Amino acid sequence: MSFRSLAQASAGLLLLAFTSLAQITSIEGDVKGMDGQPVIGAVVKIERTDIKATYQTKTDKKGRYFHTGLPIGTYNITVLMDGKEVDKQNGIRTSPSDAKDVNFDLKADSAKLAAGAQQMAAADTRQMSAADKAALEKNMKEREAQLKKRSELNDSFNTGMTAAQNKQWPEAVAALTKASEVDPTQPAVWGQLAEAYVGLASTKTGADFDAAMAKGLEAYAKAIELKPDDAATHNNYALALAKAKRFPEMQAELAKAVQLDPPGAGKYYYNLGALLVNSGQNDAAGEAFKKAIDSDPNYAEAYYQYGVTLVSKAAIGSDGKVTPVPGTVEALQKYLELQPTGQFAQPAKDMLATLGSSVETRFQNPDAGKKKKK
């Protein structure tokens, strides 16, 4: 394979699609029984309430449980023993920082429940005024309406997510649109609706592509309006803007993602570089990959892609010899050092071999070609 063909083929390995980023967190804690001792093997059910989802784990031999990979949200956590619910805590809100610690003490919680039950029984036996009864009925109706709304939201959202996972984009858009109408205040709903529209756009061309993409960008803007500090949404919005060829706006959104999530800067700059490569902006792509390396010196893929952008700048003499620009060989070698068996290992070796065969004399013997003084 010629050097030019090798460089073109290697550059083509850059992924054209990117994974949307989402912030995750963990919930952990201890479970103690009625005797005050750790409960071993208790089932801990973790139910997300803002968007319907259920997770499950068990306590270990020390009575401790741990579940990671949970999306940021609000959860109800239930402890079950022998299939029966023995304790529960509602409305646990997670955050992107440390794991949320939620402990259960069945003996103490049982005492609290008993005291609460006695208070409720006393309240039931007292004579209620007409105003109290009216207020109670109003609260019950409001609660019923809220439960109905929550059920409709969860059903629509889950239907939309299932359709999106199966790439049934029209169905996903319809269901998620309904969810956004049931509750317009949910940033997660708008974010998923945006992705569904972008997926739908990928199946269209011309004016139909533009229309679907415009809807997707509009939904992303709404999600960011509701939650402006979410770096993942800014990143995903940037990827959609790139597909719409709105590159200045794309770069601005990625810059916001970097600002909000400095530890993730390498990922965001890498995404920027990949998108710039795919749009034919090689020089700008190289700068982005270099920033990804500066942000994360162990980002192997960034070294490889940076090396590829430099390979394309190599000079080919009339005699067929190749002279790479400074940094090319070093970037490819660094990739192989970090990932000797990675997905780009073979093309990196091929490029290095081609470069070595053409520039070996130049690098290993800098005095070659100079006339000796008599």
Sign for the pseudo-dihedral over CA of 299, 300, 301, 304? positive
Encode the chain (374 residues) as per-residue pLDDT tens digits: 455 555 554 544 444 334 445 456 789 999 988 778 898 889 999 998 877 778 899 998 889 988 877 777 889 999 988 788 888 898 888 876 567 889 998 877 665 555 554 555 455 545 667 777 677 677 777 767 776 777 787 788 888 888 998 999 999 999 999 999 988 988 888 999 999 999 999 999 999 999 999 999 999 999 999 999 988 899 999 989 988 989 889 889 988 998 999 988 998 889 888 878 877 888 988 999 999 999 999 999 999 999 999 988 888 877 777 788 999 999 999 999 999 999 999 999 988 888 863 333 333 344 444 444 44
Across 82-201, the runs of DSSP E, i.e. the strands, are: 84-93, 100-101, 104-105
Pairing of strands 53-58, 43-48: antiparallel
Determine the pLDDT at residue 24: 67
Residue 39: Cβ within 10 Å count: 24
User: Cβ(247)–Cβ(259) under 8 Å?
Assistant: no
User: Cβ(93)–Cβ(46) under 8 Å?
Assistant: no
C-alpha dist (Å) from residue 292 to 16, 266, 268: 18, 4, 8
- Residue 135, both tokens: 């207020």
Which residues lie closer than 8 Å to 231 by C-beta, 6 or more apart?
21, 23, 256, 257, 258, 260, 261, 264, 268
Q: How far, in Å, CA of 10 to CA of 334, rounded?
A: 17
Determine the pLDDT at residue 330: 93
Q: How far, in Å, CA of 283 to CA of 167, rounded?
A: 34
Q: How far, in Å, CA of 36 to CA of 107, rounded?
A: 7
Determine the pLDDT at residue 124: 54
Determine the pLDDT at residue 66: 84
Determine the pLDDT at residue 248: 87
Determine the pLDDT at residue 113: 55
Return the exposure string of 153-166: e unless at least 16 CB atoms fall within 10 Å of the residue's CB, then b.
bbebbebbbebbee
Which domains, from first to last, does the chain contain?
A: 1-23+272-365 (1.25.40.10), 24-112 (2.60.40.10)
Across the chain, the runs of DSSP E, i.e. the strands, are: 24-32, 43-48, 53-58, 64-71, 74-81, 84-93, 100-101, 104-105, 315-316, 322-323
Determine the pLDDT at residue 123: 53
- Residue 166, both tokens: 């199966």
C-alpha dist (Å) from residue 215 to 174, 252, 363: 12, 20, 54
User: Cβ(21)–Cβ(267) under 8 Å?
Assistant: yes
